[in-house]
Structure 1
Amino acid sequence: MLSSQDRLDNAYKNARRISFNNDSKFILFSDCHRGDASFADDFANNRNIYFHALTHYFNHHFTYIELGDGDELWENLFFKEIFEANKNVYQLMQRFFNENRLHMLFGNHDFVYRNPNVVKRNLFEYFEPKTGLKTPLFPNIKYEEAIVLEHSETQQELFLTHGHQADFMNYVGWKINRFLVRVLWKPLQVWGIKDPTSPAKNYVELIKVERRIKKWIANNQNKITITGHTHRPRFPKPEENTLNYFNDGSCVHPRSITGIEIENGNIALIKWFIDTKEDGTLQIKKEYLEGPEKLEHYRRQ
């Protein structure tokens, strides 16, 4: 059986490679867990924040890369219900797709997207009640396990993947965890009882996952590695000479979403949240949690 290091090796070796330069602009989100708008849907509270942020990035010509767990396919049996609850979100993502600015990775909660037939069934088209016709959504889209962004001038690499490769029960044993979530933890979640199998809700598991990813980074020349999965934002400072492990957090934080921006040769950890103006009205704002830092400052060992 493959170890976590072998699984990360395979993800890196088989990753889709995308060239970029200092003019390129990327926004990285993960762990949206888009659901059916029920009481157990963690994404529902942040949907307007996410939609506003993604609209901003579309209008400012960013490419959107989703690092897995975009669709909550453990708690929900049918994608149709997720789509209907988030139709405006998918139509906005379609605008990125139509301009070749959308790249999707699968995580453990949407692991079924490894199968091109499932992707085709869920995402190539949808039924539009207004016309009574099937309408293209993301025709011929392909989900990847990993992406490597390769700088065209410096050859610096950024390895992007969900991170569940470092989590045995959420990679090898994902079907068991999916079953437990569906029959046990989803009903209990309504009452505030957390799923102990998830590193996002179990600190001990979170530390184990991070340790395994950092071990892989240390064994691979301190390659810049960006994951999701744990929901814990991570952003190393280049001057601290630590391992180059980044995590974009999630879109299901209480009242906020976090992500990673890459722009003008810089990388930054950002948060979008609802804030109150002096007159009492609400607004959605962005702030920098860490950075921006020059990518070139993150040297290999």
Structure 2
Amino acid sequence: MFTEKRLTEAYNNAKEMFYDDYSRIVFMSDAHRGDGSVSDEFLRSRNLFVHALKEYYESEYTFVEVGDGEELLEYSEFEHIKNAHTDVYGLIKKFYDKDRYIRIFGNHDIFLKKQKYVEKNYYINYDEYSEEYFDFLKGIDPLESLVLKHRQTSQEIFVLHGHQGDAPNDQFWFFTMLSLKYFWRFLHRFGIRNPASPIKNVSKRHKIERNYSKWIKKNRRMLICGHTHRFKFPKNRAVPYFNTGCGIYPSSITALELSEGMIRLVRWKEKVNDDGLLYIKRETMRGPEPVELFDIRKPKEVVEYLAKLKIQRTKKSREERAAFREEKM
């Protein structure tokens, strides 16, 4: 009951934005950027994250960071996090300056609910080389939740971090912060994980997902979240519950991409070629599928018809672009 109440509150208070089949949006979450010390879990995937962001920026995607971008429960001094990952924040600033960065807060960066904290830490930054302050993400307004609404079909995509209704990470987050900051933070250095976290606790993780699926069925909305670190892409017209996965897998990161009205789950992964050189490859894990397939407000026949039209239009558009490129050559 509490999860349903929290999700409904977040939905009713969500910021509404419009998208269409020309929109390009990438959803990533749970990077847990730390201070660069040995307990900073983001270090092992930082190069993957930077490479992926560069590709998305050049491809004109809007970057929606779906919570827990920073590990503020363990490292309360955001200045140390910024200094440890200047390349990441340089890219985030580029997205923000182009009005293509949307920040949603989760339970590990819940301080972003406080306007004073945001103004102090995110509005300006300090350049240690020039010894000058400069505008960073000035004016940013972190959100708890977002509703993306299609301009033509009115189909909605509800986006939030996913900790809502998870008691230790929602209403009792302060006590969780104390245990992380003064106990588990130091055990992380030796690879020990908190067994109460949904990341490692399978039964708890599945309980969260079941509660979210119930809300989706009742309210008939497609939902994208993070929090559990378990990527999810529904198959065969299952409940439209999507999960971005996370940015701290050992040798990969995952994301959800929305482009041409199609959604897909992708993985950026380190590979080794025949010469023994490392390189980064983007792989499609699920999809692409038309978003219309996940609109459970409409009858099955209507949804499948709209999805079929979308696939035909997309195929024709790609063929026309390919033919145009060949003519130019």
Q: TM-score range by the shorter chain?
A: over 0.9
Candidates 206, 225, 234, aligned match of 2:223: 225
Candidates 285, 288, 305, aligned match of 1:289: 285
Q: What is the one-letter code of the residue matched to 2:276?
A: G
Secondary structure, counterpart of 1:32 in structure 2: coil
Please name the residue that 2:269 is paired with.
273
CA deviation string 1:166-222 (max 9, x = no partner): 31110000011010011111111212221122101211211111111111111102x
Tell me how far 1:127 sits from its aligned partner: 1.1
Residues 68 and 106, structure 2, Cα contact 8 Å, conserved in 1: yes
Whole-angstrom distance in 2 between the partners of 1:180 and 1:211: 27
Q: What is the one-letter code of the residue matched to 2:186?
A: P
> Over the residues paired in the alignment, what is the CA RMSD in angstroms?
1.0
Please name the residue that 2:243 is paired with.
247
Unaligned runs of 5+ in 1: none
Please name the residue that 2:317 is paired with.
none
Aligned residues: 297
Tell me how far 1:131 sits from its aligned partner: 2.1
TM-score by length of 2: 0.89
TM-score by length of 1: 0.97
Please name the residue that 1:298 is paired with.
294
1:57-206 aligned within 5 A: 57-206=56-205
CA deviation string 1:40-62 (max 9, x = no partner): 11110100100000000000000
Whole-angstrom distance in 1 between the partners of 2:201 and 2:258: 29
Please name the residue that 2:316 is paired with.
none
Residues 155 and 295, structure 2, Cα contact 8 Å, conserved in 1: no
Secondary structure, counterpart of 1:165 in structure 2: coil
Q: What is the one-letter code of the residue matched to 2:231?
A: P
Please name the residue that 2:29 is paired with.
30
Tell me how far 1:130 sits from its aligned partner: 2.2
Which is greater in Rg? 2
Whole-angstrom distance in 2 between the partners of 1:53 and 1:271: 10
Secondary structure, counterpart of 1:164 in structure 2: coil
CA deviation string 1:131-189 (max 9, x = no partner): 22211110010000001110000000000000000311100000110100111111112
Whole-angstrom distance in 1 between the partners of 2:294 and 2:203: 28
Whole-angstrom distance in 2 between the partners of 1:52 and 1:299: 33
Q: What is the one-letter code of the residue matched to 1:284?
A: I
Whole-angstrom distance in 2 between the partners of 1:162 and 1:171: 11
- Bigger fraction of residues in helix: 2
Work out the percentage of aligned pairs sharing the same amino acid.
37
In terms of mean alpha carbon deviation, does 252-261 or 203-212 score higher?
Answer: 203-212
1:212 aligns with 2:208: no
In terms of mean alpha carbon deviation, does 203-212 or 266-275 score higher?
Answer: 203-212
